[in-house]
Every structure is written in structure tokens, then in C-alpha cells.
């Protein structure tokens, strides 16, 4: 059987040089998934670093994440026409700071809908970042307080990368906390109602108490009460909801008519 070389995966007109093979082999042995221009300068010198990076990007061995930061593609993937997926590239970009991927992508990832959402990726972070294209998708960044990253975050292996993302309960709680990302509050309520019996409701309750907005606690209290959760179990959530005296509509997008739930100070106009 003929020996397969690294360059078999690349175009015959654009093979990897020996130096490029050494670089990629070294990073693979070190299990480096991301390198910077500073890493290249240490290995090839200041003058050559930018040109080496440019050539490796053109040959598909590096994927640019931001200025001076690159995702390293494993040798086994170099022959594929498509590059790393957007979730993998976002994870590589944010790997050194608190973050998680969520939004409609997480709804699809957890199988909470039959629709597939991949064109837009929502990433939650601790500081402002401008939206940008990454891979085949576009990424939007949403700023949360640092304590919002202490619960409801799971990890999954995607294309060899450990990706941080919201778990099922946090994903649907985020839909109530950040409905604009999910297509509006009416849509968020529909998703939560459809999945509520499949969720860990006590986990959902803990997450909401840990950091959700009072309005979310009010609406979630109504939903959990309807699902049969006891007043005793709901008492901590109700205490948090009492931080506001606002009489909310369950669905602000619908006419404000219906029964007023005094326990949660909510107009139940979503029936």
C-alpha cells in the first residue's frame, strides 16, 4: 500500500513546506488548538511570522479567529473542503475567559426543536465584543455579570474541541431572560411550555433563583405553578419575584386581558 503523506490532503500546487509541516506536527504533539502571532515569532522569527501565518491560512492549516490569533486544524482534517464549524471557532476564540454558547443554536443542540439553527450563534461573555463572521456562521455576543457563569453550563466534545454551552434548563431559562435572542417572548413561552415536563424543574428553579431577572421569576413561577409544583417548593422563587411590584403581562405581545395571578403579580394573558 502506498504511504499517505500530509500533503496528500492538499492541492498538488500548494503543498506544505518542511517548515510548515514541522510547525503543525509540533503543535499537534503539544495538543495546541490555538496559536498566536507571538507563538509564530518565537519559532520562525519576527520577520517571517506574518508571512508564515498568511501561507498557512491560505493552505487551510490555520483559521483566523481574530487579529493575531489562529485555530490550528488537525492534519486529519486538512483534506476536507469545509473548515471547522462555527461553535468550534467561537470556543477557540473565547477559550481563556468565562463564556458559553446558547440561544437558538443550543435549542437545536439539545433537540428542543426540530428546526436547525446554525446561521447565527449567540455567545454569552463578560465584556463587550463586536459581532463577527466565524466559519460558516455569524456570532453575536451578549454581556452577562460574572456570577452568571457559575451555573447551568455544560461541556460537549465537538470536532475534538471541548465546547462550553448552556444545558437544557439554562437554555430555556435564557429564553425567558433574553427573549429577543430567541425571537420574542411569545416564542420563548411556547418553547418553555412545550418542554417543561421534560426538564428538571428543581434545577430550573435553582438557576432562576441564582440569577434571573425578577420578571422571569414571575413568569416562571406561573408556569411551574400550572405544572403542579407545590407552593412550598416555589417559595424561594416567589421571594425573589417580590423584589419588584410590577404587574406584568405573561405575554407583552398579546392584549392585556385575562386573570390576574396575585401570587406572582402577572396578568395571565397567554392562555
What is the reported pLDDT for 14? Answer: 74
What is the reported pLDDT for 117? Answer: 84
The HSE-up count of residue 192 (CA atoms within 13 Å, CB side) is 31
Q: Cα 241–244–247 angle (5° rounding)?
A: 95
Look at the alpha carbons of 101, 107, 110, 114 in this order and tell me if their dihedral is positive or negative.
Answer: negative
Q: Cα 103–104–106 angle (5° rounding)?
A: 70
What is the reported pLDDT for 248? Answer: 93
What is the pLDDT tens value at each position of the chain, 271 positions in all? 344 354 544 544 578 899 999 999 999 888 888 999 999 999 999 989 999 999 999 998 898 898 899 999 877 777 665 678 999 999 999 988 999 999 999 999 999 987 888 789 999 999 999 999 998 899 999 999 999 999 999 999 998 889 999 999 999 999 999 999 999 999 999 999 999 999 999 999 999 999 999 999 999 999 999 999 999 999 999 999 888 778 999 999 889 999 999 999 999 998 7
What is the reported pLDDT for 165? Answer: 98
What is the reported pLDDT for 1? Answer: 39
Place of cell 451555573: 151
The structure's pTM equals: 0.82
Domains and CATH numbers, the chain: 15-77 (3.90.56.20), 86-166 (no CATH), 171-268 (no CATH)
What is the reported pLDDT for 116? Answer: 84
Task: Determine the Cα–Cα distance for residues 174 and 54; give it in Å rounded to an integer.
Answer: 39
Task: Determine the Cα–Cα distance for residues 43 and 40; give it in Å rounded to an integer.
Answer: 5
What is the reported pLDDT for 79? Answer: 66
Distance of CA 120 to the CA centre of its chain: 10
Distance of CA 130 to the CA centre of its chain: 15
Closest CA to 176 of 68, 248, 114, 99: 248
- Please say whether the beta carbons of 192 and 222 come within 8 A: no
Amino acid at each position: 500500500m502506498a504511504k499517505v503523506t500530509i500533503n496528500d490532503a492538499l492541492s498538488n500546487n500548494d503543498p506544505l513546506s518542511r517548515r510548515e509541516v514541522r510547525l503543525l506536527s509540533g503543535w499537534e504533539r503539544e495538543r495546541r488548538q490555538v496559536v498566536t502571532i507571538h507563538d509564530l515569532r518565537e519559532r520562525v522569527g519576527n520577520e517571517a511570522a506574518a508571512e508564515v501565518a498568511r501561507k498557512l491560512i491560505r493552505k487551510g492549516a490555520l483559521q483566523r479567529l481574530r487579529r493575531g490569533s489562529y485555530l490550528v486544524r488537525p492534519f486529519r482534517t486538512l483534506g476536507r473542503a469545509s473548515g471547522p464549524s462555527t461553535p468550534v471557532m467561537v470556543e477557540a476564540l473565547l477559550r481563556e475567559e468565562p463564556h458559553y454558547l446558547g440561544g437558538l443554536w443550543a435549542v437545536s443542540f439539545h433537540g428542543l426543536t426540530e428546526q436547525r439553527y446554525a446561521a447565527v450563534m449567540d455567545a454569552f461573555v463578560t465584556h463587550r465584543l463586536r459581532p463577527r463572521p466565524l466559519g460558516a456562521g455569524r456570532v453575536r455576543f451578549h454581556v452577562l455579570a460574572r456570577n452568571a457563569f457559575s451555573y447551568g453550563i455544560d461541556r460537549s466534545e465537538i470536532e475534538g474541541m471541548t465546547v462550553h454551552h448552556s444545558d437544557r434548563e439554562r437554555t430555556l431559562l435564557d429564553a425567558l431572560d433574553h427573549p429577543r435572542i430567541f425571537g420574542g417572548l411569545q416564542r420563548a413561552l411556547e418553547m418553555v411550555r412545550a418542554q417543561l415536563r421534560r426538564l428538571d424543574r428543581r434545577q430550573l428553579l435553582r438557576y432562576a433563583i441564582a440569577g434571573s431577572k425578577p420578571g422571569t421569576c414571575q413568569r416562571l413561577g406561573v408556569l411551574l405553578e400550572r405544572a403542579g409544583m407545590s407552593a412550598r417548593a416555589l417559595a424561594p422563587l416567589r421571594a425573589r419575584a417580590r423584589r419588584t411590584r410590577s404587574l406584568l403581562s405573561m405575554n407583552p405581545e398579546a392584549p392585556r386581558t385575562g386573570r390576574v395571578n396575585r401570587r406572582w403579580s402577572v396578568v395571565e394573558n397567554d392562555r
